[in-house]
Amino acid sequence: MHIHRLEKIWLIIGISMLVIFLAVLGVGTFAMGVAPPGGHHHSIDPETVTEKEPFNNPGLRQIGENEYEAVMLAFAFGYSPEQMEVPVGAKVHFVVTSTDVVHGFAIPGTNVNMMAVPGEVNTISHTFNEPGEYLILCNEYCGAAHEMMMTTIIVR
């Protein structure tokens, strides 16, 4: 089989780029300690999650001046608590897990979008600078009544 000279050149360039890419990736991973986010990995037993702190009493707690922690449980077709109210400019730290299946946790119009996975405790923070009513929606199909799964945050 005869390979044209230009084809050989392009093959050499392509394979060389692949080798360089893999070398840079390997050096970044092994030599420099680069790793995916998740150094604060926290897990919990999904069968006993409602018996353990802080998920045994989900809700909104003030932890600083205009700073709140929202401990939330996602379960089949709902979130607990059903509604929360915070002042304008409040920073809310969401601490979320699921008791049954994988659920989504998204607030449309914000950068809040994460998964609520059984056995995993996920956190995300958001500052609510605009007054209004914000929906928290499940954006992962979780069963027959998935479209009814929501809760609200009222910002005044």
Q: How many helices (H) and strands (E) does the chain have?
A: 1, 10
Instruction: Render pLDDT for 55-94 as a digit per residue (tens, 0 to 9).
Output: 999 999 999 999 999 999 999 888 999 899 999 999 999 9
9-47 pLDDT, tens digit per residue, is 999 999 999 999 999 988 888 877 766 655 556 788 888
Angstrom distance (rounded) from CA 35 to CA 32: 9
Looking up tokens 């400019």 gives 89
Which H or E run includes 128?
strand 122-128
Architecture in CATH for domain 49-155? Sandwich (2.60)
Task: Answer yes or no: 128 catalytic.
Answer: no
Active site residue 94: no
Q: Find the catalytic residue in 30, 55, 75, 128.
A: 75
**What residue ranges do the domains of the chain occupy?**
1-35, 49-155
